[in-house]
């Protein structure tokens, strides 16, 4: 019996959920109530669809692209530089602060995902920058994977009906504080959405990506890191009781980039630990912590206003203000080497500096007049920092299917 579009049981098709059978040298498996025919080696030979005639069902061949034909899906998503308001974006902290917001912009340090479908049900995962790989014989084997858990959890969420080989890479250095794992998360979601023909909205993708990453790192995650990979450009995330409102900040992105220098300190970064410690103090009702978070919120508001006005002196002042308050909130967010780089950059004309992400190392962003930018870059490089040339990009997630 089979259930037709009217919800009635009709003859002609196997029952949903029946176990695979061997017949004529082939394996017949029931998936979504319809048979799939595999050869002895697990190669998908035929897929069928149901055609309802006179309240009975017949099977006809159905070979949609992506099952019987091989597909190549490539996606890219930008990482981000956060200018102000980080950590406040962790739920429910922002609910306790009026006008809470986070300000950031997307950069061309891309995270990439490539999916090649297979005619069997094998799933192969490869992380180029992580130098890890794993192989699974079926979707069910992904459960409990600890080699590439972000990749395997996202694949399980989308549950593709075909085997695949997924290869990922992120340009941003590991531990950079540029939201590389979140950008990769979005790139993977975009590729899997295309593969499975999902109708998920951007909002639904952001929610899924955030929740799965929290499962992987086992502490709460913030909201901000997923929006630049999805939308691109300069953004202000307004954190409200009714959800996250994303405002695109209208500013000349090329001019904004000409006033900023990005430098990787080359030190490890422990964002989950730093954020988790501040989170616990806040939710435990520590008044001093609450007051310090409030100064972070006000710095973010000033940064948003400065960007909207295109006032680069005010942008620099808001950046310096945010960094000063953030160091009061979490003294371990900075290191002696980061303080040294800041002094050297200021000597060459930089007007402000701030860590990217949760700190303890990673990248720093420096505000500087455009005419002093090259001097600041050379000084940072000479002092042992790694200057990252970047461009602020207008577009977020891109997916190509071929």
Average pLDDT over every residue of 16-36: 52
Going from the C-alpha of 171 to that of each of 61, 78, 165, 196, 358, the distances in angstroms are: 43, 9, 20, 26, 19
What is the C-alpha to C-alpha distance for residues 216 and 214, in angstroms, rounded to an integer?
Answer: 5
Digit-coded pLDDT (tens) for 263-283:
999 866 555 556 777 888 898
Indicate the pLDDT class of residue 390, thresholds 50, 70 and 90: very high
What's the mean per-residue pLDDT of the chain?
A: 87
Q: Which two tokens stand for residue 124?
A: 């192969």
Domains of the chain: 2-61 (no CATH), 72-245+394-401 (3.30.230.10), 252-387 (3.30.70.890)
DSSP states of 194-206:
HHHT----HHHHH
What is the C-alpha to C-alpha distance for residues 303 and 81, in angstroms, rounded to an integer?
Answer: 13
On the 0-12 / 13-18 / 19+ scale of CB atoms within 10 A, 120 is middle
**pLDDT over 90 for what percent of the chain?**
74
Determine the pLDDT at residue 69.
76
Residues facing residue 30 across a β-bridge: 35
Instruction: Compute the radius of gyration of the chain from its Cα atoms.
Output: 25
Question: Smallest Cα–Cα separation from 396: which of 239, 206, 220?
Answer: 206
User: Would you say 205 and 193 are in contact if contact means Cβ atoms under 8 Å apart?
Assistant: yes
Determine the pLDDT at residue 289.
93
Determine the pLDDT at residue 280.
87
Residue 60 scores a pLDDT above 50: no
Q: What is the pTM of this model?
A: 0.82
What is the C-alpha to C-alpha distance for residues 351 and 4, in angstroms, rounded to an integer?
Answer: 69
């Amino acid at each position: 019996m089979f259930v037709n579009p009217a919800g009635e049981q009709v003859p002609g098709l196997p029952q949903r959920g029946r176990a695979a059978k061997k017949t004529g040298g082939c394996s017949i498996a029931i998936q979504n109530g319809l048979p799939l025919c595999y050869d002895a080696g697990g190669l998908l030979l035929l897929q069928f669809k149901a055609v309802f005639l006179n309240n009975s069902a017949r099977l006809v061949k159905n070979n949609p692209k992506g099952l019987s034909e091989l597909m190549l899906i490539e996606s890219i998503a930008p990482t981000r530089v956060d200018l102000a308001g980080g950590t406040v974006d962790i739920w429910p902290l922002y609910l306790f602060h009026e006008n809470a917001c986070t300000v950031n912009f997307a950069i061309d340090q891309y995270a990439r995902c490539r999916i090649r479908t297979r005619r069997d049900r094998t799933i192969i995962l490869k992380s180029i920058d992580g130098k890890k790989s794993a192989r699974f014989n079926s979707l069910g084997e992904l459960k409990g994977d600890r080699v590439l858990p972000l990749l395997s959890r996202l694949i399980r969420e989308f549950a593709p009906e075909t085997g695949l080989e997924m290869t990922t890479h992120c340009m941003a250095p590991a531990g950079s504080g540029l939201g590389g794992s979140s950008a990769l998360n979005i790139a993977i979601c975009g590729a899997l959405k295309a593969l499975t023909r999902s109708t998920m909205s951007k909002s639904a993708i952001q929610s899924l990506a955030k929740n799965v990453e929290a499962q992987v790192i086992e502490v709460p995650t913030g909201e901000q890191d997923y929006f630049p990979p999805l939308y691109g450009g300069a953004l202000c995330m307004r954190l409200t009781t009714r959800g996250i409102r994303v405002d695109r900040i209208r500013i000349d992105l090329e001019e904004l980039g000409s006033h900023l220098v990005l430098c990787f300190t080359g030190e490890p970064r422990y964002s989950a630990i730093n954020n988790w410690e501040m989170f616990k103090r806040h939710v435990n009702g520590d008044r001093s912590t609450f007051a310090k978070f409030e100064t972070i919120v006000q710095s973010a508001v000033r940064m948003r206003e400065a960007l909207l006005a295109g006032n680069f002196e005010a942008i620099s002042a808001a950046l310096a203000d945010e960094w000063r308050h953030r160091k009061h909130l979490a003294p371990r967010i900075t290191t002696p080497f980061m303080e040294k780089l800041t002094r050297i950059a200021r000597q060459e004309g930089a007007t402000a500096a701030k860590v990217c992400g949760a700190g303890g190392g990673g990248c720093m962003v420096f505000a500087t007049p455009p005419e002093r930018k090259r001097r600041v870059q050379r000084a940072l490089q000479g002092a042992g920092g790694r200057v990252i040339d970047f461009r602020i990009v207008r577009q977020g997630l891109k997916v190509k299917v071929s």
